[in-house]
Amino acid sequence: LFECDIDLQYYQTLSSFMNNSCEYYLEDSFIKYCKQISHVDADLSMIHTNLRSLPKHVTEFQAYLEGLNMEFTIIGITETWLTDVSVDLYSFKGYNIVNNVRRHKKGGGTALIIKENVSYEIRTDLTINNMYMESVFIEIQTSNNSVITKTIIGVVYRPPNTCIDSFNFHMNETLDKIKTERKKCYIMGDFNINLLNADHHAGTSNFLDIMYSHSFFPMITKPTRVTNNSATLIDNIYFNDYTNNDQYSGIMYTDISDHYPIFNISKSEHIKQNEKYIKMRNYSEENIKKFESALKSENWD
């Protein structure tokens, strides 16, 4: 046993809970992939993208989502570039939006877009908005084998060229709060921390240590921002239940912004939906007679 590398054995076991190798997908290949894993609307699904201005790209992004032939449970957006004035001007049909706009200078901003049939609670105690970290968190109810549980979902943005140690401090505080509640949690976003540099960059290594120590592990393992000169893994989705091996993640190949969207589909968790009430008119003979009677009894003078 003294010849075994404990870390190596542990992370090899950990990686087995991922049911795919985190591939890149175009629209048609993503639709085929969803059929392959037998995705249904009740599955908890999420997608994140750094949009670099929601006002500029909202129409293009909405058209792109429609082309995927899938209604995600949660849509996370970083760099919305919304303000207190413009925040109510943009909507997604069939969804509710929770925004956290930047107030100390232009740009930034985070948003969670939640399917309208999903009941949720805004976690203001977890939400942060400062020069090092911007975030929005909500809590929803999910079911697994008929057992109802509460799941926390957040979107995080770390502005580039800011102190990574300060970001790590705020991230650690947030994870400490989540840890005390012992709830499942997904955290997606643009962290502007290139995980491919973890071996030789102290701030990145410290960030990963913080995530691992709170049992959060990355679902995305390939570059999410690719230019002519670089390929970086800075967007990710972290999850804290590695015993759940029904997670399917990947990267969407599109040029809407300079970041690729990332997604995760949980086959073992199903969203608890609000009850729907459908109103209709009853044109029965009895109701028609009542209506005629009401017309005759009315004084039309």
The sign of the CA dihedral 244, 266, 258, 228 is positive
- Residue 8: DSSP 8-state: H
Query: Is there a contact between 219 and 189 (Cβ–Cβ < 8 Å)?
Result: no
Q: In this structure, what token pair is assigned to residue 183?
A: 């709830």
Query: Is there a contact between 72 and 250 (Cβ–Cβ < 8 Å)?
Result: no
- Model pLDDT, residue 139: 97
Q: How many CA atoms lie within 13 A of 250 on its CB side?
A: 20
The sign of the CA dihedral 13, 251, 49, 271 is negative
Beta bridge partners of 148: 143
The per-residue DSSP string of 220-281 comes to --S-SEE-SS-EE--EEEEES-TT---EEEEEE---SSSS--EEEEEEEEEE-BPPP-----
The per-residue DSSP string of 275-301 comes to PP--------HHHHHHHHHHHHHS---
Tell me the pLDDT tens digit for each residue of 137-162.
999 999 887 788 999 999 999 999 99
Q: In this structure, what token pair is assigned to residue 82?
A: 């919304």
Residues in the chain: 301
pLDDT tens string, the chain, 301 residues long: the values are 455 555 555 545 544 445 557 999 999 999 999 999 999 999 999 999 999 999 999 999 999 999 999 999 999 999 999 999 999 999 999 999 999 999 989 999 999 999 999 999 999 999 999 999 999 999 999 988 778 899 999 999 999 999 999 999 999 999 999 999 999 999 999 999 999 999 999 999 999 999 999 999 999 999 999 999 999 999 999 999 877 788 999 999 999 999 999 999 999 888 876 666 678 889 999 999 999 999 999 998 8
Tell me the pLDDT tens digit for each residue of 179-217.
999 999 999 999 999 999 999 999 999 999 999 999 999
Q: Could you give the CA distance from residue 276 to residue 133 in angstroms, rounded to a whole number?
A: 37
- Residue 5: DSSP 8-state: -
Query: Is there a contact between 207 and 193 (Cβ–Cβ < 8 Å)?
Result: yes
Q: Could you give the CA distance from residue 214 to residue 249 in angstroms, rounded to a whole number?
A: 21
Q: Could you give the CA distance from residue 149 to residue 131 in angstroms, rounded to a whole number?
A: 34
Plot region of 79 (φ>0 → left; ψ -120 to 50 → alpha; else → beta) = left
